[in-house]
Amino acid sequence: MESVTTATEPATPTEPGVYEIPFGVYQTIDAVNISSLKVMDVSPRHFAHDRTVTHDSDAMRLGRAVHTSVLEPDRFPLEHVIWSGKVRRGKDWDRFSSANSGRSILRESDYAKCVKMRDVVRNDAVAGQWFRPSLNSQAEQTLVWQCGGTLCKSRLDWIVYENDCAYLVDLKTTNAIAPCDFGRAAARYHYDAQLAFYVDAIKSLGIAKTVHAKIISVESDAPFDVAVYAIPEHVIESGHKKYRAWLQRLAHCRERDEYPGVANDSEHQLPFPEFALFADSATAQTSDAE
The per-residue pLDDT for range 225-237, each reduced to its tens digit, is 999 999 999 999 9
Cα dist from 279 to 269, 273, 287, whole Å: 21, 13, 10
30: Cβ contacts below 8 Å, ≥ 6 apart: 12, 14, 151
pLDDT score recorded for residue 284:
54
> Is residue 94's pLDDT more than 70?
yes
> Is residue 28's pLDDT more than 50?
yes
251: Cβ contacts below 8 Å, ≥ 6 apart: 148, 149, 150
Q: Which of 272, 222, 260 is nearest to 40 (CA)?
A: 260
Mean pLDDT of 88-107: 90
pLDDT range class, residue 7, cuts 50, 70, 90: very low
Does residue 9 or residue 49 have the better pLDDT? 49
| Cross-strand pairs, 158 | 139, 169
Report the distance separating Cα 56 and Cα 77, nearest Å: 21
Does residue 101 or residue 10 have the better pLDDT? 101
Asked which of 52-56, 79-83, 251-255 is least confident by mean pLDDT, the reply is 52-56
pLDDT score recorded for residue 60:
83
The residue type at 72 = E
Asked which of 113-122, 135-144, 279-288 is least confident by mean pLDDT, the reply is 279-288
pLDDT score recorded for residue 58:
76
Task: Output the CATH code of domain 4-54+122-256.
Answer: 3.90.320.10
Does residue 110 or residue 1 have the better pLDDT? 110
> Is residue 290's pLDDT more than 60?
no
Mean pLDDT of 147-169: 95
Across the chain, mean pLDDT equals 91
Instruction: Please tell me what DSSP assigns to residue 32.
Output: B
Q: Where is 63: in which H helix or E strand?
A: helix 58-71
Report the distance separating Cα 10 and Cα 263, nearest Å: 43
> Is residue 69's pLDDT more than 90?
yes
Asked which of 52-66, 132-146, 188-202, 255-269 is least confident by mean pLDDT, the reply is 52-66
Mean pLDDT of 111-133: 97
Report the distance separating Cα 17 and Cα 32, nearest Å: 15
| Cross-strand pairs, 143 | 18, 154
pLDDT range class, residue 61, cuts 50, 70, 90: confident
Strand order in the sheet with 150-162: 4-6, 17-20, 136-147, 150-162, 165-174, 210-219, 226-230
Report the distance separating Cα 76 and Cα 87, nearest Å: 23
> Is residue 164's pLDDT more than 80?
yes
By residue count, the chain amounts to 290
Helix residue ranges per DSSP H, 103-209 = 108-122, 179-188, 191-204
> Is residue 270's pLDDT more than 90?
yes
Strand pairing class (104-107; 80-83): parallel
